[in-house]
Structure 1
């Protein structure tokens, strides 16, 4: 199946992920959270913002609002005071409060475990839903952000003209043993090694597999 969705062959794709797994057997996301609800809110807040920036804001938010009821009680204006250092905080505050209301009214204050139900919540798109499904519920989803989109296209792993095409291609090519952690490995690879402006090929363990034409090999 790799040949149709990847420029790498099946053995290369397996080796690609085998090396990532060997280097970091149990990768974790970099957003701070205390439960499924705070994870959902953190991911919503992280849109067009850095994980570091979100963590700085939520460090003081989680102790006072770690449930939908507590967050809803803050109200939009109250929440803004905690997240005003995050980009687009006005609209994000409104979405989070709406999200809390729906969780309370429609889901018994619990975070739903299906993509459709998650995407029906304010401020939650496919990428956010995939992150929550993967981290909170252990589902083998692949949330394609800018890092994964870049890595997938640059290396030839799963080329695509938009994030959905890359996501669907990754679902086809990622070997089953690596499905659960694949998106974490790819995000970390894109964030710290295969960076946007200047990939650090000298520190990459995949240069012999990668198809990037401008790569620098040791």
Structure 2
């Protein structure tokens, strides 16, 4: 077992304190001991007294060492837990990074109108993802498109296709370049991993942990649950 610098400083401080205390007691005893007469302490008295003092300080030293060891072990356990938590967080983040959405496939209806939009989500991670939502925004200011969610996408190259049909109400877009629209569109994923952690992931940046992995617009449209008995 190897103590860190802080623990050694604590042990050294406790040792110096004990030594200083012993020297103070010794100085006081010598200064106040009778020089002669029947009350003058004998060698056996000194040995017994110093033996008692040594026993007390040995006990204190043992208690100090045990305390230092306990503090050291607690610190080691705390660091180990923090390291394990960091490893788990990194593992979860790696799995979320491996969920990838393609750029939207866009089908035009006449000049500058969109009739259909589709996005494919791939799960290259080692575990399935659950309750997957896709939110598509074709251009700034456009209404969000919300295809039906997928209950599960299997791991290791599993995929699901999310499509929205706008034939009855085509969306007018700034231009008719399907490829350019698909590349510039904003796609946001919401999903839950196998551990129950919710995630939100856009086209750029790192995945973000969320408490509820459901698009805000879907949460707002969910029916309110009345309290029991109402």
Q: TM-score, normalised by structure 2?
A: 0.23
Structure number with the higher strand fraction is 2
Q: TM-score, normalised by structure 1?
A: 0.24
Computing the radius of gyration from Cα coordinates, the structure with the larger value is 2
Structure number with the higher helix fraction is 1
